[in-house]
Amino acid sequence: MLVGQNALSEDLNQHWEQDNQAWWDWYVTLADNKDNATNIIDIPPIQHLDMPSDSELGVELSTPYKLTKDHKLAFRRDGFIRLPNVLSPAAVFRLRKELIRLLNKTFPENNKANRFLSLEMMWIESPIIRQYVLSPRIAKISADLLSVKSVRLYHDNALSKEPGCGRTPWHYDDHHFPLETNDVVTAWMPAQPVPLSMGPLSFAKPLNVFNLVKNITFNKNDTSYDKKVTEIFKANNVSIDSKPFGIGEASFHHNLSFHTAGNNRTSQSRIVLANTYFADGARVVKEPTMVSGDWQKFIPGADPGGVVASEFNPVCWPSIKKRRV
Ligand SMILES: O=C(O)CCC(=O)C(=O)O
Ligand SMILES: [Fe+2]
């Protein structure tokens, strides 16, 4: 049975009419920031490293990660897992450089302060980002964690939390992705280390704590939903996993995993590539809501209820090479 897609009030049953950046600008206004420390900490930019060539990157991003049985069990139980060395430091450096190039093309320097900047579908435009998004290494981890044979791409996402940007509100992604399945995972791959002061992704565990908050009504105009989730998790002593990310470390979270992220009070942008994959064969929900944002951009031509398999949702695992064998 499909879980989730609940507690959304009636007035959300309308399409999001603007783009995905406008969606993020709105979404971060729903976070409660009253207890945040706000002093900006000056930290140096990521150290310069020699970048891998295209072919070195290709080899790295198609080499399988050694995922263990314990990793899979932990993911099933907790709804997320952090994995070290998903990317080499040099691959992180190249990712950051390319994401910054793309972000700078879209967002003028004088219009970034305190914002949560987002870009999607970069893999279509950038051959470098394509390697990280269609990566057999990343997609196989995702398929194995979900215990499914084959995954497709929902979307890629650059998430740049600029210095001074506040928290990301508590949520699970099932509210966001209009996919009629719970076999959905997001690979959250930071393009630099993320100390606590930069706002790492943090998770409530175990996975089933979403049941504690599933009846809270979502309010699109204020921070009440975010505050209520915090309150209920506190009252139930829910364990919040909030740790820094080392260079090359990535997390993978399920679409029912409740997560948030702190504010960025460092002097550097917190840049992340977040790729979302889902089990091949999934359909679009019958009634996407405004919380699904600009979803038609990611699944062009798909009607509510239809199978998601557009040219922008390629099968990423098994990899093309493997499928040909
Ligand atoms: O990067 C963030 O602060 C939030 C990202 C997120 O919610 C996600 O990737 O599902
Ligand atoms: Fe999320």
Rounded distance, CA 31 to CA 12, Å? 18
Q: How many whole angstroms from 172 Cα to the centroid of ligand 2? A: 6
Q: Which of 30, 188, 189 to mutate to test the pocket of ligand 1 (most atoms within 8 A of CB)?
A: 188
Residue 1 lies in a domain: no
Which residue from 27, 35, 83 is spatially nearest to 262, judged by alpha carbons? 35
pLDDT 10s digits, 125-150: 999 999 999 999 999 999 999 999 99
Whole-angstrom Cα distance, residue 50 to residue 89? 9
User: Is 318 part of any domain?
Assistant: yes
Residue 312 scores a pLDDT above 90: yes
Any idea what the CATH number is for the domain that residue 280 is in? 2.60.120.620
* Ligand having the closest approach to the CA of 272: 1
Domain of residue 14: give its range: 10-34+46-324
Per-residue pLDDT, 292: 80
Please compute the mean of the pLDDT values over residues 173-188 and round it to a whole number. Answer: 95
| Ligand 1 neighbours (beta carbon < 6 A) | 159, 161, 168, 173, 186, 188, 201, 259, 261, 272, 274
> Which atom of ligand 1 lies nearest, measured to the CA of 270?
1
Residue 41 located in a structural domain: no
Q: Residues 280-297: pLDDT tens digits?
A: 999 999 888 877 878 888
In a domain, 116, yes or no: yes
**What is the count of structural domains for the chain?**
1
**Does any domain span residue 4?**
no
> Does residue 256 form part of some domain?
yes
| Atom 1 in ligand 1: residue holding the nearest Cα | 159
Ligand lying closest to the C-alpha of residue 185: 1
* Residue 7 pLDDT greater than 70, yes or no: no
Structure tokens at 82: 């952090």
Domain assignment present for residue 173? The answer is yes
pLDDT at 29 over 60: yes
Of the ligands numbered here, which is closest to the C-alpha atom of 202? 1
307 DSSP β-pair partners? 283
Task: Report the pLDDT value the prediction gives residue 322, as an integer from 0 to 100.
Answer: 56
Hey, what long-range contacts does 95-99 have (CB within 8 A, 24 or more apart)?
Answer: 95/128, 95/129, 95/132, 95/189, 95/191, 95/273, 96/46, 96/191, 96/192, 96/271, 97/51, 98/126, 98/128, 98/129, 99/129, 99/158, 99/160, 99/191, 99/271, 99/273
Q: Which burial class, exposed, middle or buried, applies to 223 when counting CB atoms under 10 A from its CB (0-12, 13-18, 19+)?
A: middle
pLDDT beyond 80 at 4: no
Residues 41-52: pLDDT tens digits?
A: 999 988 888 999
In a domain, 5, yes or no: no
What is the tens place of the pLDDT at every residue in 55-76? 999 999 999 999 999 999 999 9
Structure pTM?
0.94
Categorize the per-residue pLDDT at 8 as very low, low, confident or very high, splitting at 50, 70 and 90: low
Tell me what the pLDDT averaged over the chain comes to. 93
CA of 323 to the centre of ligand 1 (A): 31
How many A from CA of 209 to the centre of ligand 1? 18
